[in-house]
Chains A and B, each alone.
Chain A
């Protein structure tokens, strides 16, 4: 029958009060923990996906949308870049560009995006092959680790792509040649895990069946494909996508965007973005700038949530204080009697402190369970909506600080009642019901 057992029994003796305190405390702790879980992973994903890209060039529109669609594969692209107008950028001997990786976006397979590009894309993310080989011919694809896992793709599997970025049976390119899986990449933790990569020319080949350009507008999924002319093209008018030529020679085709790395940080490079924005039909966006802007916007929401969490924790601390304090009034005789049995004032002090601590520890554990449990649902939602992989099983060192903070709150809430208990005047209390 030690002090732990006694304080434990005491808080269990008032179950409704305990539940109230736990609900409040776990709500506060849970909210902070959830914010941490999301934030840490969000930042990690943003950082990893910069991939050393200095500039993204694409159709004019919102620079943030350009970055989101071409670097993070969220949101829809802003438009096209016709090859005829982009030749300068695609020059392998460009004076300022070390690397310009072309992207052709707009198609998907069962919800995962297909990216028409070249092998340099894989190098951006330092991705390695886990099985098979890179794509060489038209219609060969390499799948990122997450796609391969979730769709159970194996080397040799074939599939037909869908138009647009949403999974829809009606939009499958049924007449097109199928894609064939030739390689699967190792997991990198970057966006490449959730992409299916192929040669730019493959995407063009698929679309040659339809009489339309690679449309990238957001409302494209709503098009009624019966409206498209499925008649045979006069193939002589088009360059066959199957042939191996540098992209610059496909003058009738378009790409979506270019991911650019500079040779060096000189004046020319720094002026590139402004130059493109002012003097061409395209826009150039700097990932770091746009993402910072996004952070600033998100930051306001996050601060509000943090403030709310602090408020909840304060209220729960107050609630613990109030329940301990009022319990003293109910228990004053039994506390006085404990003193007569030999309990020192310090014993009563510790007793109340432990009661506060137990509530805080339980509240913390419930809060963590709540946040990680919610994260499971949230991760599921994020995966379905954005294809990004969030984990609920991540345990952060910040949660240890959160535990320490919970203990401190438990102690602070309990201190005044504890002092009051230890100052129990045995004689006055027990002499009370006398005449």
Chain B
């Protein structure tokens, strides 16, 4: 279970942004909606442990990770949180397979090529396993990003505008893959977006103003 209480963040020289208290149970899929400037990305970064809150705290299964030190937080994140960004930003000098091996390494998990290939097959990019990311289409790159986010079986999957750069066909595919992948590891899925195409398929929604 993910829980955030009394969360707020203040950028230097700007007014503080407050976020509504929020709870998500294991296996739930949530959409976090809001116009530009409402702090969607800030919230996602706070939930992902990439930013420290000004007030409040966040817990995942009773662990107060928003208060962890950098070292502990890095480790926690690698093991428990998978993040999908708008662009994959995979390591350019490594193949898809090597990128995923790196994700396993950094997440403190055992290197397992078989497991990676299974995942790539489910995401239908197994044939690109030995290619470098710049040889893949945008949709294929996003699938690599999804694979990377779920390979370590995290408890929480965060997606920041995962479909905003994709066409309708790829957008639908990515949505479905995200949900399937989250279900496969029974993770909480939180998608932050302003993309209206997703509203219809995510019943649980949090609105930011």
A residues within 8 Å of B by Cβ? Answer: 1-2, 5-6, 9-10, 12-13, 331, 333-334, 336-345, 347, 426-427, 430-431, 433-435
Nearest B residue to A340, CB-CB? B83
Which residues of B44-74 are within 8 A (CB) of A? 45, 48, 50-51, 70-71, 74
- CB atoms of B92 and A334 under 8 A apart: yes
- CB atoms of A435 and B92 under 8 A apart: no
Interface residue count for B (Cβ, 8 Å)? 38
Given A2-B105, A6-B102, A340-B83, are A345 and B70 also a contact pair (CB < 8 Å)?
yes
Kindly list chain B residues whose C-beta atoms are within 8 Å of the C-beta of A344: 70-71, 74
B91 within 8 A of A: yes
- CB atoms of B41 and A431 under 8 A apart: yes
Which residues of B84-120 are within 8 A (CB) of A? 85-87, 89-94, 98, 101-108, 111
Complex CA distance for A93 and B136, rounded to whole angstroms: 95
Given A9-B98, A427-B45, A435-B36, are A341 and B93 also a contact pair (CB < 8 Å)?
no
- CB atoms of A13 and B45 under 8 A apart: no
Complex CA distance for A6 and B70, rounded to whole angstroms: 23
Complex CA distance for A331 and B93, rounded to whole angstroms: 10
Complex CA distance for A434 and B101, rounded to whole angstroms: 29
Name 15 interchain pairs, CB-CB below 8 A, sorted by A: A1-B94, A1-B111, A2-B105, A9-B98, A12-B93, A13-B93, A331-B92, A334-B89, A339-B74, A340-B50, A341-B103, A343-B106, A347-B106, A434-B36, A434-B161
Task: Give the interface centre of A10, A430, A431 by most chain B CB atoms within 10 Å.
Answer: A430
B37 within 8 A of A: yes
Per DSSP, chain A at the interface is helix
B residues within 8 Å of A by Cβ? Answer: 36-37, 41-42, 45, 48, 50-51, 70-71, 74-75, 77-79, 83, 85-87, 89-94, 98, 101-108, 111, 148, 160-161
Nearest A residue to B42, CB-CB? A431
Nearest A residue to B85, CB-CB? A430
Kindly list chain B residues whose C-beta atoms are within 8 Å of the C-beta of A6: 91, 93-94, 102
Given A1-B101, A2-B105, A435-B36, are A340 and B48 also a contact pair (CB < 8 Å)?
yes
Kindly list chain B residues whose C-beta atoms are within 8 Å of the C-beta of A426: 45, 50
Nearest B residue to A14, CB-CB? B93
Q: Which of B45, B92, B102 interacts with A341 by CB under 8 Å?
A: B102
Kindly list chain A residues whose C-beta atoms are within 8 Å of the C-beta of B89: 333-334, 336-337
Q: Which of A5, A13, A435 interacts with B37 by CB under 8 Å?
A: A435
Complex CA distance for A427 and B92, rounded to whole angstroms: 21
* Nearest CB in chain A: distance from B98 CB, A: 6
Given A1-B105, A340-B50, A342-B106, are A430 and B45 also a contact pair (CB < 8 Å)?
yes
Q: Which of A13, A334, A336, A343 interacts with B74 by CB under 8 Å?
A: A343
Kindly list chain A residues whose C-beta atoms are within 8 Å of the C-beta of B101: 1
Complex CA distance for A431 and B45, rounded to whole angstroms: 9
Complex CA distance for A12 and B92, rounded to whole angstroms: 11
Kindly list chain B residues whose C-beta atoms are within 8 Å of the C-beta of A2: 105
- CB atoms of B98 and A1 under 8 A apart: yes
Kindly list chain B residues whose C-beta atoms are within 8 Å of the C-beta of A340: 48, 50, 77, 83
Complex CA distance for A13 and B92, rounded to whole angstroms: 8
Given A333-B87, A430-B45, are A341 and B78 also a contact pair (CB < 8 Å)?
yes
Kindly list chain A residues whose C-beta atoms are within 8 Å of the C-beta of B105: 1-2
* Nearest CB in chain A: distance from B46 CB, A: 9
Complex CA distance for A342 and B48, rounded to whole angstroms: 11
Kindly list chain B residues whose C-beta atoms are within 8 Å of the C-beta of A343: 74, 78, 106
Complex CA distance for A337 and B94, rounded to whole angstroms: 14
- CB atoms of A342 and B50 under 8 A apart: no
* Nearest CB in chain B: distance from A103 CB, A: 67
Complex CA distance for A338 and B90, rounded to whole angstroms: 9
- CB atoms of A342 and B108 under 8 A apart: yes
Nearest B residue to A347, CB-CB? B106
Kindly list chain B residues whose C-beta atoms are within 8 Å of the C-beta of A12: 93
- CB atoms of B86 and A342 under 8 A apart: no
Kindly list chain B residues whose C-beta atoms are within 8 Å of the C-beta of A431: 41-42, 45
Complex CA distance for A6 and B111, rounded to whole angstroms: 15
Nearest B residue to A13, CB-CB? B93
Kindly list chain A residues whose C-beta atoms are within 8 Å of the C-beta of B111: 1
* Nearest CB in chain A: distance from B12 CB, A: 11
Complex CA distance for A6 and B107, rounded to whole angstroms: 16
* Nearest CB in chain B: distance from A168 CB, A: 62
Kindly list chain A residues whose C-beta atoms are within 8 Å of the C-beta of B106: 338, 341-343, 347
Q: Which of B51, B77, B86 interacts with A427 by CB under 8 Å?
A: B51
- CB atoms of B107 and A342 under 8 A apart: yes
- CB atoms of B93 and A1 under 8 A apart: no
Complex CA distance for A342 and B76, rounded to whole angstroms: 8
Kindly list chain A residues whose C-beta atoms are within 8 Å of the C-beta of B85: 337, 430
